[in-house]
Each structure stands twice: as C-alpha cells, then as structure tokens.
Amino acid sequence: MRNKNKRFYLLIVIAFILWLVPFLIRLFFINTDTSIETNRLQEKGIRNSQTVDNLVNSLNDNNKRKTFIIIFENNITGCIINVLGGTLLGLGTIVNLIINGFASSDVIVYSYNSGLSVREITHATLPHSFELIGFWISGAIGLSIAWKIILFMKNKEILDIQFYKDVLIQFIIVFIIILSAAYVEAYITILNI
C-alpha cells in the first residue's frame, strides 16, 4: 500500500512538471506582442472560443450560477481528458498537460501585456488556483492508468478491482477540488476583480 501511494505521489510530481515546463517556457521565452496578435486574429475573423464567449456573456449578465457551471464544465473536461488519456498509454494525458501549461501561462502573459500588474494578476487568480492541484491529480490518474496498462501488457500485473476503486476515489477527490475551485472563482474571485 505504501509503495502504491509513493508511486502515485511521484506521478503527481511528474504531471506537475509536464505542466510546469511549458508554462515557464511560454512565460519567459516566447514573447508576443498582444496588439499584433489581436489585430491578426481580427483580420482573419477569428473569435474567442465558444466557452470564452459564453463566460464573458454570463459575467456581463452578472449570472454567477451560469458562470460557475461554465467554469466547472471547462475545468472538469480538462481533468476527464487527463484521466481518459491514460487509456492511450498516457499520450493524451501528456499532451493535455503540456497544452494546459502553455495556455495557463498565455493567460498570464496576455493579462500582463494588457496592462495588469503582477499583483493584480496574482490577486485575481490566487484564490481559485487550487484547481490546478485537481488538474495535476487528474494527470497523475491518467499516468497511473497508462502505467497499469503497460504492466498488464507485459504480464507483470493484472487489472484488479482495487485499481478501479482507487481511480474512482482519486477522481472523486479531483471532482470535489474542481467543483470547489469553480465555486470560489464564480462567487468569490470575480467579486474582487
């Protein structure tokens, strides 16, 4: 049991690193001028994603419940992709962690380039940033599924019921973290912006 827990904690660290490296690369090494990017996107007629449009509309309507649901659905979808990515031997999980690392950093860089100070960005994101823990745990779940499948293919382990129970409990923990973070973001953080 202890060895299993140590392995899962190690997978959380690996998921964190897979997210952190692209986050730092985007933050410090990829420089973009947001005015140029915005103009280029507008010229091509590219708009924000449907999720962002819906979120902006719900914020403008001061509809906190709808905002909460949009944020929760978006974040839990990323976590589900992490978990299900394990069935592709972790490839889906790894790609999702990397993409979200870049995307998270991109939001910070865009906010900073738009005139917000580091203090303002921190003040706006810190209260609900524990959602990242849920995201990293879901990444660890996906990686553990991939690892278990690899061991099964090598005839070193079987896919027993206890493994499925562990995954279910871990995902329930992720669900609670993501649900709580979405609530904090929709009902508390947005009030302070």
The token duo for 116 is 């917000």
Contacts of 88 (CB under 8 A, 6+ apart): 146
Whether the CB-CB separation of 133 and 177 falls below 8 Å is answered with: yes
pTM across the whole model: 0.87
**At residue 60, does pLDDT exceed 60?**
yes
CA-based radius of gyration for the chain: 19
pLDDT of 66 higher than 90: yes
Indicate the number of domains in the chain. 1
Q: What is the pLDDT of residue 93?
A: 98
Spatial separation of the C-alpha atoms in residues 61 and 55, rounded to whole Å = 10
Task: For residue range 154-164, list pLDDT tens digits in order.
Answer: 999 998 999 99
Q: Which domain holds residue 113?
A: 2-192
% of the chain with per-residue pLDDT over 70: 89
**Letter for the amino acid at 85?**
G
Per-residue confidence (pLDDT) for residue 193, from 0 to 100? 63
- How confident is the model at residue 33, as a pLDDT? 60
The answer to whether the beta carbons of residues 72 and 178 sit under 8 Å apart is: yes
Across 131-159, b (16+ Cβ under 10 Å) vs e yields: bbbbbbbbbbbbbbbbbbbeeeeeeeeee
User: What confidence tier does 92 reach under pLDDT thresholds 50, 70, 90?
Assistant: very high
